[in-house]
Amino acid sequence: MKRVRFRDSAGNVRGGRWTTVDGEDVVTAAAGPYGRIAFGDETYSPDEVDILAPCEPTKIVCIGLNYEDHAAETGKDVPDRPMLFLKPPNTVATHGQRVTVPADKERIDFEAELAVVIGEQCRNVSASGAEDVIAGYTCMNDLSNRDDQRVEQNWVRGKAFDDAAPIGPLLATPEHLKDDATIESRVNGDTRQSSSIDNLIFSIPELIEEITAYMTLEPGDVISTGTPAGVGPLEDGDEVEIEIEGIGTLRHTVHVP
Ligand code: MG
């Protein structure tokens, strides 16, 4: 199943089921863990509604340098344990949004990432039990302000500015993710990143074990699993697409004030 959160024309936030990946209709359905209001018998065209982020994270835990080719392009060694940083809730942006990025920067980069959405409160989860806490998967753009990231250790300006985490449009339940699903980014239709999630250095179960050894994850929290090679700068007016095979395509535009 693929779930979508949306706001209808009357302002109601609803949780529904997406009938196809690039689907025509959003069919309201039982709320499920991420539907906030739900349902009724109505059907909607996506054009009639505002697509919201598919979950409401209390935090997004991001993984740095989790593809060898991206580590190489940044001139860094592959880490011996997952490299973690956080994006707080102010970073969440939605499918279809015009995302405003910090002004006067040399480089605001896109980073296509597979995002794991957590389904239940959890702590100290073993890799072997990780499947049980995964609600599903979605697409994320780990927008990165390189100017400040380069010169600060905690990456607050670099990674945690408003709208730095476009995410969505769908929450796809785990059976939709193939082990070798392709991950791609496109800018104005040109393919810029193309890889497969089987190139992840640290697997999703390993990431969940490592993260929950240190912190409690809540329902709707997100783990963004890192980006492959090919990251690059964005300019005002660019349209970015992040596509993960079987999961969906996230699309947003960029505004530089
Ligand atoms: Mg990243």
Q: What pLDDT was estimated at residue 39?
A: 41
More confident position, 3 or 111: 111
Ligand 1 center–CA 38 separation, angstroms:
32
Confidence of residue 12 (pLDDT cuts 50, 70, 90): confident
| pLDDT (mean) for 20-39 | 35
Ligand 1 center–CA 24 separation, angstroms:
31
pLDDT at 29 over 50: no
Q: Is 130 helix (H, G, I), strand (E, B) or coil?
A: helix
Ligand 1 center–CA 141 separation, angstroms:
8
Ligand 1 center–CA 23 separation, angstroms:
28
Q: What mean pLDDT value characterizes the chain?
A: 89
Confidence of residue 43 (pLDDT cuts 50, 70, 90): low
Beta strands in the chain (DSSP E): 2-7, 13-18, 26-28, 43-44, 50-51, 60-64, 83-87, 92-94, 98-100, 108-110, 112-118, 134-141, 144-145, 165-172, 182-187, 190-196, 222-224, 232-233, 239-244, 248-255
CA dist., res. 49 & res. 35, Å (int): 15
> Lowest-pLDDT range, 27-31, 34-38, 87-91?
34-38
Q: What pLDDT was estimated at residue 18?
A: 67
Ligand 1 center–CA 2 separation, angstroms:
24
Ligand 1 center–CA 193 separation, angstroms:
13
pLDDT at 23 over 50: no
Q: What pLDDT was estimated at residue 19?
A: 57
| Residue-range domain boundaries for the chain | 2-51, 60-255
Ligand 1 center–CA 66 separation, angstroms:
9
Ligand 1 center–CA 226 separation, angstroms:
5
pLDDT at 33 over 60: no
Query: How much helix, strand and coil, in percent to the nearest 5, is found in the chain?
Result: 15, 40, 45
What's the pLDDT tens digit per position in 224-250?
Answer: 999 999 999 999 999 999 999 989 889
Q: What is the largest CA-CA distance in the chain?
A: 54
Ligand 1 center–CA 63 separation, angstroms:
6
Ligand 1 center–CA 42 separation, angstroms:
38
What's the pLDDT tens digit per position in 90-100?
Answer: 999 999 899 99
Pairing of strands 165-172, 134-141: antiparallel
Range of 21-35, 46-60, 207-221 with top mean pLDDT: 207-221
Ligand 1 center–CA 114 separation, angstroms:
10
Q: What pLDDT was estimated at residue 24?
A: 39
pLDDT at 159 over 70: yes
Ligand 1 center–CA 4 separation, angstroms:
24
Q: What pLDDT was estimated at residue 15?
A: 80
Within 8 A by CB and 6+ apart from 87, the residues are: 59, 60, 62, 142, 159, 160, 164, 165, 224
Pairing of strands 134-141, 98-100: unpaired
What's the pLDDT tens digit per position in 184-217?
Answer: 999 999 999 999 999 999 999 999 999 999 999 9
| pLDDT (mean) for 170-186 | 95
Ligand 1 center–CA 124 separation, angstroms:
24
Ligand 1 center–CA 228 separation, angstroms:
9
pLDDT at 21 over 60: no
What's the pLDDT tens digit per position in 121-147?
Answer: 999 999 999 999 999 999 999 999 999
pLDDT at 30 over 90: no
Ligand 1 center–CA 195 separation, angstroms:
14
CA dist., res. 4 & res. 164, Å (int): 20
Please give the CATH topology (third level) of the domain spanning 60-255: Fumarylacetoacetate hydrolase; domain 2 (3.90.850)
CA dist., res. 97 & res. 161, Å (int): 15
pTM: predicted TM-score of the whole model, two decimal places: 0.92
Ligand 1 center–CA 50 separation, angstroms:
26
Ligand 1 center–CA 131 separation, angstroms:
22
Ligand 1 center–CA 8 separation, angstroms:
32
